[in-house]
Structures are given as C-alpha cells and as structure tokens.
Amino acid sequence: MDPQNTNMNTEAKMMMNHAKTLRLHTGNLVSRSRLKKKCPASPSEELQDCIQATLSDWFSTTKPPSKDFPDTLDCSSSQETEAITPEEREELKVSVKLFLCESLQSSIRDAVEMACQTLAVSQLDSVIIAPPGPLEGDSQTLAHLQPAWEELEALVRSQKIAAIGTSDLDKDLLEQLYNWAQVKPSSNQVNLASCCVMPPDLTAFAKEFDIQLLTHNDPKELMSAATFQEAVQVGTQDLNMANWRLEWVLRYSIIVKSRGIIKAKGYLVSARKASP
C-alpha cells in the first residue's frame, strides 16, 4: 500500500475517533455512477450505498490537519453538488424530505441550515417531514407531530422554507393537523405499498383544502441503527462505530421547473456519538 495513503487513513481514523458529530454529503447522485449497484432496489439500499461510497471517498482523499481534530466532522464526496447560482435559482425547485431518527427539534433547523448552505440557497421550496415512528404498538397522534411541525412553522416564518408537508397521514390525522396548524400542510405523501389506491376520504379532504397528495416508496424506517453502523464500518475500513447514532437523513432534489427533470439529487446525513 502507498505509504501516503496509509498516513491519510491513519489521520482520517484519528479524526473519526475524536469527532462527536458526523455530517455526510453524498454529492449529486444524478451525475455520479460510483454506487455499487446502478439501480438500488430500495431507498434504504441507495442510502446505504451512498454512505459507504462517500466515506470511502473521503478516507482516500482527505488531508486532515495534524494538530486540531474538530468535534464535527464534515465528510463529503469529492463530486459535490454544484452550488445553485442566483441566475438559475428562479428556474429551479428545491424539494426536500427530512427523515428524523430521533425526536430532537433542533435537528430540523440543523438539517435545513445544512441543506441551504450546501446548495447555496437562502430558502428551500418545500420540506416534507417524516418524524420518528411512535413506540411499538402506538399509533401516530397529533401530539406526536406538533413539536416538529412548530419547528417547521418557525422556519417558514423566517423564510428558510416556502412550503411544508407531511408523510403517511390518514384523513383524520391530516384534518387534525390542518385545523390545529398555523401554517397549513401543502402536501401529504402516501405510501402506495400500504394502499394501492388513494383512500377516497383522504382524496376528498385534500381536494377541498388544496393539499397536494403525492406518492412515495420509502420504508417506515429509512435506515436501522445496525444498517447505518454497518455502512459506516465498511466505508471507514472497519472502524468500530457501535456507539454512533443516526440523527437525521435529508434527501434533496433540484428540479428544473420548465422541464420537470431532476438536475440533482443527494443525501445529507447527520450522526452523533453517544455519551459513554
């Protein structure tokens, strides 16, 4: 092995061991064909491939400082998404789905700030929230959704987000949220794996209150803790990542409005080391 690569790997592993927070940016998947499988079987598999490839890329190219090891480690693909220029911003729509793995409201603001900074925009056009699932045996409730929605509303008021939406709400829960919320949901995603046809009552309610119904194929849990740790271990050449926890995953799409095509797509991921 090249001695220079060995030194870089040693430095990178020292940085990873010192860090308390890990931030990943996969770069633009539309223009990148580095993933092991050209067409991942599922969103979960795509994310797992992305984490492995991004960390492997970072480990092989990083030249970290030898003195100071940061608490927050930013690991990006060498093929990062091109920043959106002010001239083309009007022609593009930036859509985001945010998967919260833990019930931390600060995660929402952190994720939105990171997305704006990464893509060089001052505002995201739409954000759909997928909060962490309720405890085993419990069903989703308005009380479960309210803290996350209030944080999204604050980001709308500060003009960081233009429109906010939900995921997997039935008609009753969507109606409860709509009646309670100050900033109304503009969309609701429905998983067609769980219902092949849109429920008529949901369709009628959404039409009456101008809520867009979208479809998706994301699993309830985008990535398990074990799968995340496995992906990081592979990408970092077998570092022990057992005490790392996934905080949130943000998937973004940059769409050319006039043509309806996806110009860029990628993931931002945040994880933190659990206290011993």
Structure tokens at 74: 């930013």
Q: Which two tokens stand for residue 147?
A: 């803290």
Euclidean distance between CA atoms 251 and 223, whole angstroms: 13
Confidence at residue 81, expressed as pLDDT on a 0 to 100 scale: 65
Q: Pull the structure tokens for residue 22.
A: 């890990």
The pLDDT score that the predictor gives to residue 122 is 96
Q: Identify the pLDDT of residue 114.
A: 94
Give which of 140, 122, 123, 118 is closest to 131, Cα–Cα.
140
Note the pTM of the prediction, 2 decimals.
0.89
How far is residue 50's CA from residue 46's CA, in Å, rounded to a whole number? Answer: 6
The whole-angstrom separation of Cα 140 and Cα 119 is 32
Neighbours of 178 (CB within 10 A): 17
Eight-state DSSP code of residue 40: -
Residue 267 in contact with residue 47, Cβ under 8 Å? yes
Q: What is the spatial distance between Cα 194 and Cα 172, in angstroms, rounded to a whole number?
A: 17
DSSP 8-state class, residue 91: G
| H or E element, residue 253 | strand 244-256
Predicted pLDDT of residue 39: 63
Residue 189 confidence (pLDDT): 94
Q: Is 31 left (phi over 0), alpha (psi -120 to 50) or beta?
A: alpha
Residue 1: predicted pLDDT: 41
User: Measuring CA to CA, which residue among 71, 3, 16 is closest to residue 243?
Assistant: 16
pLDDT reported for residue 40: 62
Angle at 254 between CA 177 and CA 151, to 5 degrees: 30
Per-residue pLDDT of the chain (276 residues; tens, 9 = 90+): 444 455 556 777 777 777 888 899 988 887 765 444 456 668 889 999 988 888 888 887 755 555 677 788 888 876 666 688 999 999 999 999 999 987 777 899 999 999 999 999 999 999 999 987 765 556 789 998 999 999 999 999 999 999 999 999 999 999 999 999 999 999 999 987 766 688 899 999 999 999 999 999 998 889 988 888 888 888 877 677 778 889 999 999 999 999 989 999 999 999 988 776
